[in-house]
């Protein structure tokens, strides 16, 4: 029996994955709330409402994760002759991939919009 196929090590590995997933989710929520509260106390600097931007990013993250989780595909996958049909992990993996794609596109669009606005201000 291979080291990686041992039932004891598989159980330990799965427990570790669940613990890391929960810790990551808790740290993400805490970090976003901490950042949003920290920026709420700061006044507008040079016309930029940092608190409003922080809360908007937090809301976009939560809405994107929720929407992509609800729309995730849970059809079983056939990979190397093995069928993967655990609906939870199929949904989580699809959610993370699609959320990452959506958020990267939004970040690129925001960067382009910011550069366009900066160009207009510099031309004045």
Q: Tens digits of per-residue pLDDT, 75-96? A: 998 888 888 898 988 999 999 9
Alpha-carbon distance of 46 to 64, in angstroms, equals: 30
- 27 pLDDT above the threshold of 90: yes
Alpha-carbon distance of 96 to 91, in angstroms, equals: 9
Please tell me whether the overall predicted TM-score, pTM, comes out greater than 0.75 for this model.
no
pLDDT category at 38 given cuts 50, 70, 90 is confident
With H, G, I as helix, E, B as strand and everything else as coil, classify residue 68: helix
- Total domain count, the chain: 1
Alpha-carbon distance of 114 to 108, in angstroms, equals: 10
- 67 pLDDT above the threshold of 70: yes
Strand partners, 108: none
- Those residues whose C-beta lies under 8 Å from the C-beta of residue 83, and which sit 6 or more positions away, are 76, 77
Residues of the chain with pLDDT > 70, as a percent, come to 81
Helix axes 87-123, 50-70, angle to 10 degrees: 150
DSSP letter at 43 equals: P
Alpha-carbon distance of 94 to 110, in angstroms, equals: 24
For residues 67 and 43, which has the higher predicted lDDT (pLDDT)?
A: 67
pLDDT category at 3 given cuts 50, 70, 90 is low
Query: What ranges make up the beta strands (E) of 1-124?
Result: 77-79, 82-84
- Which range marks the domain in which residue 93 is found? 3-123
DSSP letter at 44 equals: P
């Amino acid at each position: 029996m291979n080291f990686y196929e041992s039932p004891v090590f598989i159980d330990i590995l799965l427990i570790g994955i669940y613990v890391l997933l929960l810790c990551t989710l808790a740290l993400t929520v805490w970090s976003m709330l901490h950042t949003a509260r920290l920026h709420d106390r700061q006044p507008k600097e040079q016309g930029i409402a940092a608190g409003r931007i922080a809360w908007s990013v937090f809301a976009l993250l939560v809405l994107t994760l929720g929407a992509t989780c609800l729309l995730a595909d849970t059809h079983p996958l056939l990979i190397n002759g093995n069928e993967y049909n655990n609906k939870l992990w199929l949904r989580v993996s699809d959610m993370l991939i699609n959320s990452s794609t959506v958020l990267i596109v939004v970040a690129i669009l925001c960067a382009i919009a910011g550069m366009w606005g900066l160009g207009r201000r510099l031309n004045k």
